[in-house]
Amino acid sequence: MATGSFRHYGLGFVLLSLLLQLLSGSSELQSNYYAESCPNAEEIIKQEVAKLYDEHGNTAISWIRNLFHDCMVQSCDASLLLESKHGNGIVSEQASSRSFGMRNFKYVTEIKEALEKECPATVSCADIITLSARDGTVLLGGPRIEMRSGRRDGRESHASVVEEFIPNHNDSMALVLSRFESVGIDAEGTVALLGAHSVGRVHCVNLYDRLYPTVDPTLDSDYAEYLKGRCPMPDPNPEKVRYSRNDRETPMVLDNMYYKHLLAHKGLLLVDQQLASDPTTAPFVEKMAADNGYFQDQFARAMLALSENNPLTGDEGEIRKDCRYINAV
């Protein structure tokens, strides 16, 4: 009797978890969702991300930005990856002004091809976005994030609403916080996510307003001189692609140096610098500047939340064969 009821207890537990999964949508995401359908999926992604990082270190940076631009806009559905092609009627989100500077999309195609070779039409592009962001974060010295998988790919671009979801570089902190709040990310999480600007670059178009005709008084004056050198006006060679690295000291490390720079008035974008002056966000900036472990914990928590914003699951959407195009019907 005792052993029998133990076994029934086990069965009941399985049924109960199934029931709970049916009742709450995003719990259809699971850790290692492809364990049976494609057991090597996560390992293949990890290896591809590592290989690409060795060849082009900034791919890891792109994977982090991709997660933000895909998941923030309505759903983590890989809509960001859709491209227009003659006759397919798609306006790509990549053409939005908010996507300015995004790069390395062609290497997502390489990751997908490696997966298709092993398990055709099984692993979604939306999960590639999530898992590559997880693995890229680790390669850049950031935290391990326990991402779940099981997302499906959307069949439409959200290009027409990108600007409603992704803030601009000069938006007010109140607007930025409300955007993140609408996807369930609080002020502390928002401050941590902007720490992604600890890596990568900013093109001069996003900096001119802070330098000319007069220097933004919230910008350190030596740093402003440096930035004017990176972004001269008038530009003696307008053909040249001009940008500044986000973090001159540890440009390829996802760490709390970003917050130390903000406290020293060396934030690059207006939104970055506002994190240090806005009374809601400033205390978190100070705490993150002082404690890299705390920054990493908050970054991991917020990235996880972002990665689970309104995913398609079950029989919604599809599994794209090529991340750039919806499957032909």
Catalytic residues: 69
State which of residues 5, 31, 170, 221 lies at the interface with ligand NAG (CB under 6 A): 170
List binders of ligand HEM among 21-80 (CB under 6 A): 58, 61-62, 64-65, 68
Nearest to 244 by CA among 204, 206, 208, 216: 204
Task: List the single partner that 124 binds among ligand HEM, ligand NAG, none, CB under 5 to 8 Å by kind.
Answer: none
Binding annotation for heme b = 197
CA distance 173 to 194: 12
State which of residues 40, 84, 168, 277 lies at the interface with ligand NAG (CB under 6 A): 168
- Residue 183 beta carbon to ligand NAG: minimum distance, rounded to whole angstroms: 22
Q: Which is nearer to ligand HEM, 199 or 326 (CB)?
A: 199
Phi/psi for 91 (5° steps) reads -100, 115
Binding annotation = 70, 73, 77, 79, 93, 167, 197, 247, 250, 255
State which of residues 92, 94, 96, 206 lies at the interface with ligand HEM (CB under 6 A): 206
Which residues contact residue 67 at a Cβ distance below 8 angstroms, ignoring those fewer than 6 apart?
A: 76, 129, 130, 133, 303, 306, 307
Binding annotation for Ca(2+) = 70, 73, 77, 79, 93, 247, 250, 255
Q: How many CB atoms are located within 10 Å of the residue 284 CB?
A: 23
Task: List the single partner that 271 binds among ligand HEM, ligand NAG, none, CB under 5 to 8 Å by kind.
Answer: ligand HEM
Which residues contact residue 279 at a Cβ distance below 8 angstroms, ignoring those fewer than 6 apart?
A: none
State which of residues 112, 197, 261, 301 lies at the interface with ligand HEM (CB under 6 A): 197
Task: List the single partner that 151 binds among ligand HEM, ligand NAG, none, CB under 5 to 8 Å by kind.
Answer: none
Sign for the pseudo-dihedral over CA of 131, 135, 137, 143: positive
Do 104 and 62 contact (CB within 8 A), yes or no? yes
Task: List the single partner that 170 binds among ligand NAG, ligand HEM, none, CB under 5 to 8 Å by kind.
Answer: ligand NAG
Q: Which is nearer to ligand HEM, 168 or 250 (CB)?
A: 168
Phi/psi for 129 (5° steps) reads -60, -45
Do 263 and 286 contact (CB within 8 A), yes or no? yes
